[in-house]
C-alpha cells in the first residue's frame, strides 16, 4: 500500500488525539469549595478518602477552591446559570436562605431512595438548619461549635478547685479571676469579641432565651435576653472584660488565653490544640474546654444549645450530572469517611466520630464537644437581611454593655428594628 502525505497526516492527528479523546470520555465531577474542604478529604493521617469512590465510579475530581466570600458568590452565580459544570458546591449555613434554596437541588427524594448511611447520626441542629421551606437542601459536612475555654493554671493560682457549675458561678469566677499575678501582666476574667452575635446569643441561651428562632421569632423571651446583656455589662463594669472589649477579635481571644491574660474565652472546640501548643502557649496542656453552663433561673430541664457555624455540600439545581454528584456526596458523608476526614483535621458533624476510641484518644475534648454538638444550633437562621439583623443586634448589645442605654431598652430596640427585616 502506498501511504500518501494526506493519509499519514491524518493518522498522526488521530494518534495524537486519542489520549485527549479518552480523557474526554472519562466522567468528571467538578467541585466548588474552600481549600480546607479539599485537604481534609485528600490529605492527612487518613490519606486520600476520595480514592475508593473515584476508582469505583471511573471518575475524576476537579476542585476549584476560593476564600469564603468569593466561594459563596461564585456558587450562587453558577447556580443562577442555565446549566453549570459544578456538581457539588460547599454552602455556609448563613447563606442557606430561602432565595438560595431555590437554586439548589432538593435532596429528600434522594435521601429516601439512596440514603446517606446513618443520616440521623449527623447532629440534629445542623440537619434542621439545612431544611428550608420544608425541604433538605444540603448535607452538613464540617462544623465549628463554641465551647467555654478556661486556664486551669490561673484557676489554681486563685485557689479555685473546679470550673463553674452554673452560669452564676461562671460570672463570679470571671470577677475573682480578674487580678494581677505576682510579676506578671494583669489577668481579665473573660475575653470576648463584641463583633459577633453568637456570644450574647449563648449568654441568652444560658437563661433559656434566644435571638431569632428558626421560625423567625425575634427575641422570643425578652426577659432572658435582658438578663444576658445585663450580665455582660456587669462584667465590663467590674473590669472582668477588657477595656478594649468593643475592638477584640476572635484571634485576640486565642492570644489572650495563650499568654495568660484572660482566664475564660468562648471559642470553637477545634481551637483546643492550638491553645495548648507548646511553641505558642505559655500554658500548654493547661487550657481546658467545657460547655457554657446554664443559669439556675433557666426553665427546669434546660440544656445549653451552643452556637454553631457549619459547612454543607449542596448540588446546584442546574448541575449536569446530579446522580454522580449525589453518589460522591453520599460516599463522603459515610461514617467511615467522616471519621477519616476528622483524622485529617475536619470538624466531624457525626456524633459517632467522637465515640471512636482512636479518635477520642487523640482528642482530649472529644466527649465534651460531642455533648455540645448534640444540642448545638445556629445563632440565627439564614434569611436575606440576616447580616443586617446581626449588625443591629451587635450595635444594641454594645450600646448597653458600654453604658449608653439600659439592657431592657437595648432588647426592646433590637426587636423593633429587626422585626421589619424578617421574612414575611
Domain borders along the chain are 27-144+308-375, 145-306+380-421
pLDDT digit string (tens) for 307-338? Answer: 999 999 999 999 999 999 999 999 999 999 99
Report the pLDDT value the prediction gives residue 184, as an integer from 0 to 100.
83
Could you give the CA distance from residue 350 to residue 339 in angstroms, rounded to a whole number? Answer: 8
Q: Count Cβ neighbours within 10 Å for each residue of 157-189 and write b for 16 or more, e otherwise.
A: beebeebbeebbebbebbeebbeeeeeeeebbb
> Cα torsion at 228, 233, 234, 236 (round to 10°)?
130
Report the pLDDT value the prediction gives residue 18, as an integer from 0 to 100.
44
Q: Looking at the chain, how many residues does it have?
A: 424
The DSSP call for residue 7 is: H
DSSP alpha helix (H) spans, 177-271:
198-206, 222-237, 250-259
Task: With both helix axes pointing from N to C terminus, report the angle between 35-42 and 335-343 in degrees, rounded to the nearest 10.
Answer: 110
Could you give the CA distance from residue 296 to residue 166 in angstroms, rounded to a whole number? Answer: 7
**Short-list 248, 257, 265, 264, CA closest to 194:** 248
The DSSP call for residue 350 is: B
Strand boundaries in 124-169, DSSP class E? 131-132, 135-136, 139-151
For the chain, which residues score pLDDT lower than 50?
Answer: 1-25
Could you give the CA distance from residue 424 to residue 214 in angstroms, rounded to a whole number? Answer: 13
Burial of 370 (0-12, 13-18, 19+ CB in 10 A): buried
Q: Which three cell numbers stand for residue 315?
A: 448540588
Cβ atoms 327, 53 nearer than 8 A: yes
Chain CA centroid to CA 300, Å: 28
- Antiparallel, parallel or unpaired: β 135-136 and 86-92: unpaired
* Owner of C-alpha cell 493518522: 11
pLDDT digit string (tens) for 341-352? Answer: 999 999 999 999
Q: Say whether 21 sits in a helix, a strand or coil.
A: helix
Report the pLDDT value the prediction gives residue 24, as an integer from 0 to 100.
44
Cβ atoms 308, 197 nearer than 8 A: no
Report the pLDDT value the prediction gives residue 37, as an integer from 0 to 100.
98
Domains 27-144+308-375 and 145-306+380-421 alike in fold: yes
**Short-list 238, 245, 271, CA closest to 257:** 271
Could you give the CA distance from residue 347 to residue 145 in angstroms, rounded to a whole number? Answer: 9
CA distances from 279 to 132, 230, 263, 274, 365 (A): 44, 38, 20, 10, 20
Task: State the CATH architecture for 145-306+380-421.
Answer: 3-Layer(aba) Sandwich (3.40)
Task: State the CATH architecture for 27-144+308-375.
Answer: 3-Layer(aba) Sandwich (3.40)
Amino acid at each position: 500500500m502506498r501511504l500518501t502525505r494526506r493519509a499519514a497526516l491524518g493518522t498522526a492527528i488521530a494518534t495524537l488525539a486519542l489520549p485527549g479523546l479518552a480523557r474526554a470520555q472519562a466522567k468528571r465531577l467538578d467541585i466548588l469549595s474552600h481549600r480546607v474542604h479539599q485537604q481534609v478529604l485528600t490529605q492527612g493521617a487518613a490519606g486520600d478518602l476520595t480514592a475508593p469512590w473515584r476508582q469505583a465510579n471511573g471518575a475524576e475530581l476537579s476542585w476549584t477552591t476560593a476564600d469564603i466570600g468569593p466561594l459563596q458568590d461564585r456558587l450562587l452565580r453558577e447556580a443562577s446559570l442555565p446549566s453549570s459544570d459544578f456538581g457539588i458546591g460547599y454552602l455556609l449555613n448563613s447563606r442557606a436562605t430561602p432565595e438560595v434554596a431555590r437554586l439548589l437541588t432538593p435532596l429528600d427524594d434522594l435521601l429516601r431512595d439512596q440514603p446517606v448511611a446513618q443520616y440521623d447520626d449527623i447532629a440534629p441542629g445542623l440537619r434542621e438548619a439545612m431544611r428550608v421551606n420544608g425541604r433538605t437542601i444540603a448535607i452538613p459536612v464540617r462544623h465549628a461549635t463554641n465551647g467555654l475555654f478556661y486556664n486551669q493554671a490561673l484557676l489554681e493560682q486563685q485557689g479555685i478547685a473546679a470550673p463553674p457549675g452554673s452560669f452564676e458561678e461562671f460570672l463570679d469566677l470571671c470577677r475573682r479571676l480578674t487580678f494581677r499575678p505576682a510579676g506578671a501582666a494583669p489577668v481579665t476574667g473573660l475575653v470576648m469579641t463584641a463583633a459577633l452575635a453568637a456570644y450574647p446569643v449563648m449568654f441568652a441561651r444560658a437563661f433559656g432565651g434566644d435571638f431569632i428562632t428558626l421560625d423567625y421569632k425575634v427575641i422570643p423571651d425578652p426577659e432572658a435576653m435582658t438578663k444576658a446583656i445585663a450580665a455582660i455589662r456587669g462584667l465590663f463594669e467590674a473590669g472582668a472584660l477588657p477595656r478594649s472589649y468593643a475592638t477584640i477579635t476572635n484571634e485576640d481571644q486565642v492570644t489572650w488565653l495563650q499568654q495568660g491574660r484572660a482566664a475564660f474565652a468562648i471559642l470553637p472546640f477545634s481551637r483546643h490544640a492550638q491553645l495548648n501548643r507548646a511553641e505558642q502557649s505559655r500554658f500548654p496542656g493547661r487550657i481546658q474546654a467545657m460547655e457554657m453552663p446554664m443559669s439556675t433561673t433557666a426553665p427546669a430541664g434546660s440544656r445549653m444549645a451552643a452556637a454553631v457555624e457549619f459547612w454543607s455540600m449542596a448540588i446546584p439545581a442546574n448541575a449536569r450530572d446530579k446522580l454522580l454528584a449525589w453518589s460522591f456526596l453520599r460516599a463522603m458523608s459515610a461514617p467511615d469517611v467522616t471519621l477519616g476526614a476528622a483524622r485529617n483535621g475536619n470538624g466531624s458533624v457525626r456524633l459517632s466520630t467522637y465515640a471512636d476510641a482512636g479518635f477520642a484518644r487523640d482528642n482530649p475534648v472529644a466527649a465534651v464537644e460531642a455533648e455540645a454538638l448534640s444540642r448545638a444550633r445556629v445563632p440565627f437562621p439564614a434569611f436575606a437581611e440576616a447580616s443586617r439583623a446581626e449588625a443591629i443586634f451587635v450595635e444594641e448589645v454594645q450600646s448597653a454593655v458600654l453604658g449608653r442605654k439600659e439592657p431592657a431598652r437595648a432588647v426592646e430596640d433590637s426587636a423593633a428594628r429587626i422585626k421589619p427585616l424578617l421574612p414575611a
